[in-house]
Chains A and B, each alone.
Chain A
Amino acid sequence: MHLTDIREKLAARPDLTRHLAQVKEQMATCIQCGTCSSSCPNAGFMDMTPRRMWRAVLTDRVDMVFSSQTFMLCASCYVCTLRCPRGLPLTDAMAELKQVAFALDLDRFRRSTRFYRAFMDNIRQYGRVRETEMMARYFLAVKDPRVPMSYTGMGIKLMAKHKLHPHFPTLGPGRLGPLFERATQQQEQ
């Protein structure tokens, strides 16, 4: 199901196929030693260890890659990159996979995509994160009432500790707009 789904989508996007090929090339000298996986603080939450993820990339199992949430759970802590005996840019490659996943706009990553987008838009607008507004925009974007409901418990806890403010403090516009534009430009190049 996913296989055809992803393969079809990729076939329609030669840029993404190229992008994936680049990731594969970056990972080529991986020896599957598993250092990345045993050192990853989030490995316990992942449905697939980073090592298996890289193995899937190297053996062209895109179906496995994109049926996994692993790269979405990468916290970019860079421990794996620091430890990898092959000196591979593992964290960067995780980010690349995220980008491909966003670009593919797969249903299964909808929530993650929306979350990242809400986060980045927020930063772009204010130069910092305004959590309440960001979450509100995220809830609107996912268009699923179950999502805000799932956060209710955490919201109450945070409010009790005065960590969450229902009102929006007024902030002027941020100055990160040009930075984002430059980054986008670079990426396109």
Chain B
Amino acid sequence: MTQTVMEPSQASPAKNPSLAGDAFEPVLIAFVCNWCTYTAADLAGTSRLTYPDNVRLVRVMCTGMVDPQYVIKAFLEGADAVLVSGCHPGDCHYINGNYKARRRILLLKQILPRFGIDAKRLRLTWIGASDGIEFAQTMTRFVKDIKEIGPCQARLQPVI
């Protein structure tokens, strides 16, 4: 079982998302835990709840396996925002991976904003297996917030 990238169902032909002009379409990466948030995403899908296709889901076994490097790399490669989402406290299949993830996100939130990466671009949420609605709402709100903030600078120039 490796990570799976869920391709957005409706693909638009544009290779580079438009950054200027009519509308800014951000690209978001969501590292979702296999047990809870991924199940919620699945539930949202089967319940036909819609959320913007700006979000690319990367399934991870546990939020605790999200190395800070993944988040840094995602931003440097041009993500406008990164979400890490896993089980509610106490629900983690791996007992405490989500608590460890929380500290790593805290660490990143001390570092990245120093370089102009708005703290709002990095989010950690707990979305349980049956929180299909919350998953869809979170994604919608996140995309909306990022549209307001605008594109991340790293997307405009190669900083990798």
User: Within 8 Å by CB, do A and B touch in the complex?
Assistant: no
Residues of A at under 8 Å CB distance from B?
A: none
